[in-house]
Amino acid sequence: MKVLVTGAAGQLGTDVVSLFQEAGHTVFACDRNNLDITDQYACFMALNELKPNAVIHCAAYTAVDQAEQEVDSAFAVNADGTRNLVIASERIGAKFCYISTDYVFDGLSKEPYHEYDNTNPQSIYGKSKRAGEILVQSLSSAYFIVRTSWVYGLHGNNFVKTMLRLGAEKPEIKVVNDQMGSPTYTVDLANFLLELVQTEKYGIYHASNTGTCTWYEFAKAIFTDAESMTGKSYPAKVYPCTTEEYPLPASRPQNSVMEHLAIRTNGLTDLRPWRGGLRDFLKVHLISEQE
């Protein structure tokens, strides 16, 4: 299968490119340097020339707080850029896989969100990603929308790397303890996409590592596992705090937990528990840091 990956130099895209190549697929790795997704003509030309069987759209405007001020930029990338790629994919008959987010929900539910629950994004980032979803659903005849949450990987900045750095530098760290979600390791998500995109089981999917925690519980697990692997002690003491004590420009969902209903009903392989993903990430990351 020929697969075009946008955002190929990003945190998720790098692992998607690597895993699809290892599985024997022909991969066209596109990033902002060789494909401007906000340029409709450029999208048409690229897809018409390469003629992939599937497009995995990892590229996105992801600066959640900055988006509150850069509304046009967020929608230009997440909505208009997505539209350009969908139309270009339809013209050549390619499947389209759009990576979306837990931020399309308001986070007020007491229960995990199902794939077809009503969305109600509260931030510009969430609204722009939801706009992308709507355009995919409206314009593609063969789409996968994959919502994920709390993503971290080896190839970008993320919460895990930040905690490890602060844990070594600061005497104490306060971490939010009233937001619940599921951390997701990019390698595990990429493996799910590898299975999904080869099917014709189109629709919306929730894909995160299984199990839940708060950001505070996630931080504690990071230090516990890192210390057990390296024998190194992180001096910082970790304290829980509330969202109100740590105000940010963009609203975050209080409950980001997503039910994996579509994975189960379509007979696909669910992602493993989040703690296993974290341990595997730390093994590779901590070794690379020591080299």
Confidence of residue 239 (pLDDT cuts 50, 70, 90): very high
pLDDT at residue 230 in the model: 87
pLDDT at residue 231 in the model: 86
189 occurs within a structural domain: yes
Q: Can you state the angle between helices 274-290 and 159-169, rounded to 10 degrees?
A: 60
Alpha carbon of residue 176 to chain centroid:
20
Per residue in 9-60, pLDDT tens? 999 999 999 999 999 999 999 999 999 999 999 999 999 999 999 999 999 9
State the pTM of this model.
0.96
Per residue in 147-176, pLDDT tens? 999 999 999 999 999 999 999 999 999 999
62 occurs within a structural domain: yes
165 occurs within a structural domain: no
What's the CA gap between 236 and 26, in Å, rounded?
Answer: 45
What's the CA gap between 6 and 36, in Å, rounded?
Answer: 10
267 occurs within a structural domain: yes
Collapse the DSSP code of 85 into the 3-class scheme (helix H, G, I; strand E, B; otherwise coil) and give the result. Answer: helix
CATH code, domain carrying 196: 3.40.50.720
pLDDT at residue 287 in the model: 78
* Average pLDDT across the chain, whole number: 96
Assess whether pLDDT exceeds 60 at residue 77.
yes
Residues involved in catalysis: 125
246 occurs within a structural domain: no
Nearest partner of 151 among 242, 62, 30, judged by Cα: 62
Assess whether pLDDT exceeds 80 at residue 289.
no
251 occurs within a structural domain: no
* Other CB atoms within 10 Å distance of the CB of residue 76: 15
How much is the average pLDDT of 108-112? 96
pLDDT at residue 196 in the model: 98
- Domain range for 27: 2-157+181-211+256-273
279 occurs within a structural domain: no
The number of distinct structural domains making up the chain is 1
9 occurs within a structural domain: yes
Confidence of residue 291 (pLDDT cuts 50, 70, 90): low
Measured on CA atoms in the order 15, 267, 55, 123, is the torsion positive or negative? negative
